[in-house]
């Protein structure tokens, strides 16, 4: 039997009880990895706990001949993140990869967003991803190898209405991943970003009370969670050793390399600027290259392929 792409690697997948995370965990196992299936089992809003979805994924992997263990901790808690990495090492002898999929939503238009809604979302998507990455980093440094994948969203990369907390966290994740890639390059540790589009229970929360939103949800239904998994698992493999610090957008059968912020156009003025000359010179010169207030669906206008 041919070896898988991640044969004998030990991979922790957070948020792996349902949706994309479950598909990533199952594909990683099918490609030969030993998998820690982490999921608190909370609601989309991050409330409650239920181990049964993650246990179901573990059972599926075992039934297919793979190896997996359940972890029911919350990545928003430092001690839980340390414990899930320790479980990987204690159970399988090492840890080779982390795929941070876990997430919650607390959508609210910005001027009505509460501090609790802000902190809850950042606590999972940004602080939580840091917790898990940091827990794994010490092992990666000592063994001089390791790979991380962190999920972002087009809500951050492009923009969306009513998701300031989510967008801020997801853009923070992009900066986090790039910093990990730079700081840990000397230890042969890689960190990359995947921005997925797929129909999951998060998408099911989008209201469909107008034709545009309803059309958007119907299009999302054609983008299956399992289509995201191959890129995530590939990035865990030794074949991806030259891929680090990148941002990929995946939907259906498409993989897109996303741009990263670089200067687009510049102006200068001998002697410096005043408010008046900024108004008269700088802004008119730069305005043609301003970005409009786009949302994801304004940029990705074609149907998924």
With beta carbons less than 8 A apart as the criterion, state whether 14 and 99 touch: yes
Query: Tokens 């900066």 — which residue?
Result: 175
Token pair belonging to 13: 């997948």
Catalytic positions are 166
- 199 contacts 221 by C-beta, under 8 angstroms: yes
């Amino acid at each position: 039997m041919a070896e898988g792409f991640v044969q004998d690697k030990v991979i922790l997948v957070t948020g792996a009880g349902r949706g994309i995370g479950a598909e990533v965990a199952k594909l990683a196992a099918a490609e030969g990895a030993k998998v820690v299936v982490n999921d608190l089992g909370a609601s989309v809003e991050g409330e409650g706990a239920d181990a049964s979805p993650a246990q179901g994924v573990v059972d599926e992997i075992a039934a297919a001949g793979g190896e997996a263990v359940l972890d029911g901790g919350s990545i928003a808690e430092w001690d839980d993140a340390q414990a899930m990495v320790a479980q990987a090492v204690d159970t399988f002898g090492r840890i080779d990869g982390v795929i941070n999929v876990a997430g919650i939503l607390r959508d609210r238009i910005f001027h009505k967003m509460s501090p609790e809604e802000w902190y809850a979302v950042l606590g999972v998507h940004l602080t939580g991803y840091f917790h898990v990455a940091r827990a794994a980093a010490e092992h990666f440094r000592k063994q001089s190898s390791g790979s991380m994948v962190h999920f972002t969203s087009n809500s951050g990369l492009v923009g969306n209405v009513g998701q300031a907390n989510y967008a801020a966290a997801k853009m923070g994740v992009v900066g986090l991943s790039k910093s990990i890639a730079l700081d840990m390059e000397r230890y042969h540790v890689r960190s990359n970003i995947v921005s997925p589009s797929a129909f999951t229970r998060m998408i099911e929360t989008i209201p469909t009370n107008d034709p545009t939103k309803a059309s958007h949800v119907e299009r999302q239904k054609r983008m299956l969670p399992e289509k995201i998994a191959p890129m995530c698992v590939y990035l865990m493999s030794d074949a991806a050793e030259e891929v680090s610090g990148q941002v990929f957008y995946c939907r259906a059968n498409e993989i897109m390399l996303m741009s990263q912020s670089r200067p687009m156009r510049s102006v200068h003025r001998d002697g410096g600027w005043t408010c008046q000359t900024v108004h008269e010179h700088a802004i008119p010169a730069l305005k043609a290259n301003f970005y409009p207030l786009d949302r994801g669906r304004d940029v990705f206008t074609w149907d998924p392929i």
